Amino acid sequence: MNAGISHYDMRFFGFMNGFRGLAQDRAMKLESDMLSGILNDGGEGCNMAVHGEEIVEVQLEEVASVKKLVAENHLTVRSARLMGTCFGD
């Protein structure tokens, strides 16, 4: 990401609250200093989360071990379908 910003003038965004943030357009511009040290700490290929204005690493076990059910008519599901997301049904 740092190379994309400094060498290619790219811009990167993260979404607060995971998919809900995507559906609700809760984007946050990511700056180089927000991610400093993550790769040095072994953060390559990991899950990331935005907590306030800080980006933190989240272990997959922490996310995958919790079952989260959402109603078929939930706003997040309806928004995802409108954007073309397929849920296999």
> What pLDDT sits at residue 36?
64
> What pLDDT sits at residue 68?
77
> What pLDDT sits at residue 56?
76
> What pLDDT sits at residue 2?
64
Residue with tokens 């965004």: 13
Q: Are 16 and 26 in contact, with CB atoms under 8 Å apart?
A: yes
- What residue spans define the domains of the chain? 2-82
Per-residue pLDDT tens over the stretch 2-51: 677 777 777 777 777 777 777 787 887 877 777 666 555 554 556 777 77
How far is the C-alpha of 36 from the C-alpha of 16, rounded, in Å? Answer: 19
Residue 85 reports pLDDT greater than 70: yes
Mean pLDDT calculated for residue range 49-55: 74
